[in-house]
Copies of this chain bind each other. A is one copy, B any other.
Amino acid sequence: MTDSPLARWERRNGTVLAVASLLYLAAYAIRVLANGLPGVLHDLCLAVTFATWAVFLVDYLVRLRLSRQRPLRFLRTHWLDTLVLILPLLRPVRVVQTYEHVQRRRDEPRLSLHARVIAYASLSAALLGFAASLTVYAYEHVAPGASIRTYGDSVWWACTTLSTVGYGDMAPVTPVGRLVAVGLMGCGLALLGAVTGSFSSWMLQVFAREGENPYPPEADRPPGNSPGACDRTD
């Protein structure tokens, strides 16, 4: 239907970009976490980091070209893509989308609307939390007076932050750590709010259907298209 060159490009390169972004995240994780890494491996990770970033840049420029929009307008309508280009650690969030796209082409049974939102938002939040915990660990564990000293501490801190529990036994003290923390709060809480909201709607839906079907756990994969009509109203 919408077979513009841009759409074709995006369809063809989705998987390449997803792999590149996972490579980027992996290389970053190894660089941060591996302490006594031999020089060769460290250089390899650095090379992967730059190579994948170059892939993102090329993709961005090609899409800018194919969209036939003026650069400033493209920058504004695709601000999320621009942000992701500058902060490639946010890139893996896009992986979830590609995975779902691939799965759809294979004609597998798709999840219900609420389940898809929950899966997408919680996976995105988990990837964001992973990237944030890596960056915070990198900046905090060497800072004087820091409470986050091991990577385990950093993961624990990311979990307490994303859930808004915030015990305060671990908290960033460096400016960069706090900046990352504020970003994680902003993005993560919006995503987890979407998870909670969808879960709440989904639960109301399951309980509303329960009258006809006495076994609610069977009801979470509704056949036909009646749920679609229902979903559109909420």
Q: Which residues of B contact A101 (CB under 8 A)?
A: 214
In the complex, are the beta carbons of A207 and B113 less than 8 A apart?
yes
Q: How far is the CA of A121 from the CA of B207 in the complex (A)?
A: 11
In the complex, are the beta carbons of A203 and B165 less than 8 A apart?
no
A232 close to B (CB within 8 Å): yes
When C-beta atoms are compared, the residue in chain B nearest to A114 turns out to be: B204
Q: How far is the CA of A97 from the CA of B217 in the complex (A)?
A: 10
In the complex, are the beta carbons of A200 and B207 less than 8 A apart?
no
When C-beta atoms are compared, the residue in chain B nearest to A121 turns out to be: B203
When C-beta atoms are compared, the residue in chain B nearest to A80 turns out to be: B217
In the complex, are the beta carbons of A156 and B178 less than 8 A apart?
yes
When C-beta atoms are compared, the residue in chain B nearest to A169 turns out to be: B171
- List residues 1-16 of chain A with CB under 8 A from any CB of chain B: 2, 7, 10-11
In the complex, are the beta carbons of B185 and A190 less than 8 A apart?
no
User: What is the CB-to-nearest-CB distance from A145 to chain B, in angstroms, rounded to a whole number?
Assistant: 11
A233 close to B (CB within 8 Å): yes
12 sampled A-B residue pairs with Cβ under 8 A: A104-B214, A113-B207, A117-B203, A120-B203, A152-B175, A159-B181, A163-B186, A164-B165, A189-B192, A193-B197, A194-B199, A208-B228
